[in-house]
């Protein structure tokens, strides 16, 4: 009874009730709450502390910000209070401002592509692609919104752009159409098992995709399978880092990689991996990159890759 009494007392403040309702709809940081309810940050922080003391909300650090989210669900004794808050009249227009704020938030795929400064990425790609001459048939593993895909399409004979996100592919298609590229095929698929024929492409590009997959070995093996003998693979990835917020917010499965481990994984699937190209150091960013290039062995390797037909069998 004391817990319930204290909860009613705490939620008797209209501003605190508005904050709880907003956090019940979306995960927000302090600055976002301030912009939504229009009161001083010190006041917002006080209200958040009271709500946290009641175990109604939780906080977690991500990317230099503290985010607050609802800490209870439908089974909690205090859940009826959340329902009442959500159903209360929105006389301040909080929900409309929240909708606008969420629309302004950076798209996850766009943010992933911005983890590395353009200067880092494009200098590395220039080093990798300068020795390649068109026309080539290319596969872009994990194309996202198509930033790199459209660049590849400028000189490639054909590009197959693959991503597991249908929403990202819609944006990639729109960008390709805007730039007038007609030599791109978009494919929604899992990089671990692709419905593409063996030995069918000249170049496999894996740009900042391995940190999203469960098994880099399986994905690299798929890339090796698709390459013609003598075909090339280019891998750009993040070096090890401590930014754990990317796991929940951006869906990363790995916090970067040791370049030598990736090189060994490429060799294991039949790719003669060459020199590692490190990214220029930038103390302002926690994300650093490396680039590996390799060539598909012309002879059969000791590790035999199953053909498309074999992988389709139960």
Q: Is 59 helix (H, G, I), strand (E, B) or coil?
A: strand
> End of a domain among 105, 135, 167?
105
Please provide residue 62's backbone torsions phi and psi, each rounded to the nearest 5 degrees: -150, 125
Tens-place pLDDT, residues 167-224: 899 999 999 999 999 999 999 999 999 999 999 999 999 999 999 999 999 999 999 9
Whether pTM > 0.75 for this model: the answer is no
CA distance linking residue 217 with residue 92, whole number of Å:
53
Distant-in-sequence, close-in-space partners of 29: CB < 8 Å, separation ≥ 6: 65, 66, 67, 68
Are 213 and 231 in the same domain? yes
Domain count for the chain, please give it: 2
The residue segments making up the domain with residue 15 are 2-105
> End of a domain among 36, 71, 105?
105
Tens-place pLDDT, residues 224-239: 999 999 999 999 999 9
Are 132 and 251 in the same domain? yes
CATH code: domain of residue 234: 3.40.50.150
Q: How many CB atoms lie within 10 A of CB 28?
A: 23
CA distance linking residue 145 with residue 166, whole number of Å:
10
The chain-wide mean pLDDT, for the chain, equals: 83
Please provide residue 156's backbone torsions phi and psi, each rounded to the nearest 5 degrees: -80, 155
Q: Which is higher by pLDDT, 241 or 117?
A: 241
């Amino acid at each position: 009874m004391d817990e319930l009494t204290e909860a009613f007392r705490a939620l008797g403040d209209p501003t605190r009730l508005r904050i709880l309702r907003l956090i019940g709809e979306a995960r927000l940081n302090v600055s976002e709450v301030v912009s939504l309810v229009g009161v001083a940050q010190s006041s917002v922080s006080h209200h958040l502390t009271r709500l946290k003391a009641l175990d109604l909300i939780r906080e977690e650090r991500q990317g230099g910000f503290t985010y607050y989210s609802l800490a209870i669900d439908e089974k909690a004794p205090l859940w009826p209070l959340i329902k009442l808050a959500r159903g209360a009249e929105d006389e301040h227009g909080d929900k409309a401002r929240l909708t606008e704020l969420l629309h302004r938030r950076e798209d996850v795929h766009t943010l992933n592509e911005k983890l590395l400064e353009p200067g880092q990425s494009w200098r590395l790609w220039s080093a990798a692609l300068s020795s390649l001459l068109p026309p080539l048939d290319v596969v872009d593993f994990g194309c996202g919104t198509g930033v790199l895909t459209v660049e590849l399409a400028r000189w490639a004979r054909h590009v197959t752009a693959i991503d597991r996100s249908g929403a990202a592919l819609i944006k990639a298609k729109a960008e390709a159409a805007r730039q007038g590229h007609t030599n791109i095929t978009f494919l929604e698929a899992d990089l671990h098992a692709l419905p593409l024929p063996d030995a069918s492409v000249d170049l496999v590009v894996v740009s900042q995709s391995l940190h999203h997959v469960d098994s880099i070995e399986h994905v690299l093996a798929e890339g090796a399978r698709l390459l013609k003998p003598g075909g090339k693979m280019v891998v750009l990835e993040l070096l090890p880092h401590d930014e754990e917020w990317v796991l929940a917010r951006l869906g990363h499965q790995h916090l970067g990689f040791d370049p030598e481990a990736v090189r060994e994984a490429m060799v294991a699937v039949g790719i003669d991996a060459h020199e590692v190209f490190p990214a220029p150091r930038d103390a302002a960013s926690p994300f650093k990159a490396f680039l590996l290039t390799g060539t598909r062995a012309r002879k059969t390797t000791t590790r035999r890759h199953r053909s498309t037909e074999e992988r389709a069998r139960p």
